[in-house]
A = this chain, B = another copy of it.
Amino acid sequence: MVPAARRLSFWRWGYEDVLPDPALLERTLASARAFFGEHAVSAEPRPAPRLEAISLPPPRVSLPAALAAFATIDPHERARHTLGRAYRDIVRGLACDFSCAPDLVAFPEDEADVARLVDHCAGARIAVIPFGGGSSVCGGVEPRVDGHFTGALSLDLSRMGRVLEIDAKSRAACIEAGAFGPAIEDALRPHGLTLRHYPQSFEVSTLGGWIATRSGGHFATLQTHIDDFVESIRVVTPKGTLESRRLPASGAGPQLERLYCGSEGTLGVITRAWMRLQDRPRFRASASLSASDFLAGARAVRALAQSGLHPSNCRLLDPVEAFTSRAGSGAEAVLLVAFESAHHEVDVDLERALACARDHGATLRESTTRDGERRPSQAENWRTAFLHAPYLRDALIQRGLLVETFETAVTWDRFDAFHTALHEETTRAVFERCGAGIVSARITHAYPDGAAPYYTVIAPAPRGHEVAAWDEIKTRVTDAIVRSGGTVTHHHAVGRDLRDAYAREVPREYREMLAAAKHAVDPAGILNPGVLLS
């Protein structure tokens, strides 16, 4: 696990002392050279930005003495709180573009500090950007705020990172919003419990960030988002602190927690939540199957999602993705199915799932079952590779490659046409802008009524036009998504980057309702302005 002394990089994904596996990097660069030509990959990595070379704008605001103790203008912290961790953020970081740095970064120690900071900022018209781990890939934490504000304060919750209370009987825990994934699991493990929420950002993101962005988690079916595990929350707003009641369920009015899931910091600063937990799984069974192609594999995924079996993993890789992740030969799509339980063996469940998948055209490649808390080493390897992939991405970006992902969701009736159109439009956009590229696809989460496809793009970036190129590709892709009936995001949030597309996805009247609800608790509009709503 991560010692407290380690620092998060101010410009790239993750911790300063973590680098991608050199052999994996070399292999990937060699593949890119073979695929795109020697010229596509720089011989040397573009140098990491040095803090000394960055000119941060001078802070426009300061805090009164009583609050100043929580805040800093330290350049490392200001720079680290400027950009998220999307492709366009890494490229801008490499170009030393930190022009919209927050004026201040505050590190409250408890909820009372948060309330005092928010109160002051409301009075002084300082924009407040709630900040967890900073791994946003949609401009959610970037202080891109307009002249209406006197300045911007990045409100970093990371010093509020404790598991405060564990209720083993109800299998729930009260956790501070600034708690990072590993710290949560460390605190729960001795109790035989787990939150079991593993977004790719697990090591570098926080509970508050997960809730605010409706983060997608461990389970591929049934309870796919953090939303289902939020039992109650506490939120600081300029008009007061809200706390919802700990309840397993209720029918009393629209559910408060659901209004805050996906609120992205615009409706208040989440300070803590009671979260529903799982017993730590002990029994595991998994299998990999193959299908002739992605759409054939999707038919098996649909059958599984509609079977009522609720596999914990049900992930489909298209042939390219199977090849690049070393899960397949590249000739076929690969379907990974897994079950787990703390209470009973899951062999029967896997057998039922395999029968179902075979009935729908998939072929078994291999299966394993395990009794005991340790994962099969193959799964452990996959998990490490999954969590470390963004480190690899950033090293590839330094070599001049454009690497980015996006995700959506759509109902089954239009899945085939949607995927085909989206894959084509993405490929076309990438080729037109970059001259070459690889677009691969997977299904990350599956539902009875649809699925969430996830796309990875890798291409030679046009030198000097990296941000513009990706923005153009992303705009075309997002247009295609909105046009074809998908959602602009399945689990990466809207932020500032997708705000205009979001406005086309949801009705105007609903956005006006959200704006009115926001105004009721944030009349000065200081909470993460520009995110979700304009």
Contact = CB atoms under 8 A, between A and B. Distances in A.
A350 to B, nearest CB: 12
A156 to B, nearest CB: 23
B231 A449 contact: yes
Nearest to A260: B254
A310 B219 CA distance: 15
Contact of A448 (B171, B450, B493): B171
Given A169-B413, A245-B485, A307-B343, A225 B240 contact: no
A170 B276 contact: no
Given A256-B506, A262-B254, A413 B170 contact: yes
Given A167-B411, A251-B491, A246 B485 contact: yes
A344 interface: yes
B449 A276 contact: yes
Contact of A251 (B214, B240, B267, B410): B214
A517 interface: yes
A445 B249 contact: yes
A276 B411 CA distance: 11
Given A250-B489, A409-B250, A508 B170 contact: no
Nearest to A240: B509
A516 interface: yes
A248 interface: yes
Contacts of A451: 248
A502 B251 CA distance: 11
Given A343-B308, A413-B169, A507-B242, A213 B251 contact: yes
A512 B520 contact: yes
Contact of A216 (B227, B245, B251, B512): B251
Interface in A478-511: 485-494, 498, 502, 505-510
Interface in A213-254: 213-216, 222, 224-225, 227, 231, 237, 239-240, 242-254
A352 B515 CA distance: 49
Most interface-central of A514, A517, A521 (chain B CB within 10 A): A517
A401 to B, nearest CB: 27
Contacts of A515: 520
Interface residues of A, number: 95
A255 interface: yes
A505 B243 CA distance: 10
B252 A261 contact: no
B487 A252 contact: yes
Contact of A410 (B247, B263, B306, B307): B247
Nearest to A253: B262
Nearest to A515: B520
Interface in A444-464: 445, 447-452
B521 A245 contact: no
B247 A411 contact: yes
A348 interface: yes
A306 B250 CA distance: 19
A119 to B, nearest CB: 14
B344 A307 contact: yes
Given A170-B449, A411-B170, A513 B259 contact: yes
B253 A264 contact: yes
Contacts of A259: 254, 258-259, 510, 513
Report the 4 A-B pairs with minimum CB-CB distance, sorted nearest first. Answer: A248-B450, A248-B447, A250-B487, A258-B258
Interface of A: 167, 169-172, 213-216, 222, 224-225, 227, 231, 237, 239-240, 242-256, 258-264, 267, 276, 279, 302, 306-310, 341-344, 348, 352, 356, 409-413, 445, 447-452, 485-494, 498, 502, 505-510, 512-517, 519-521, 532
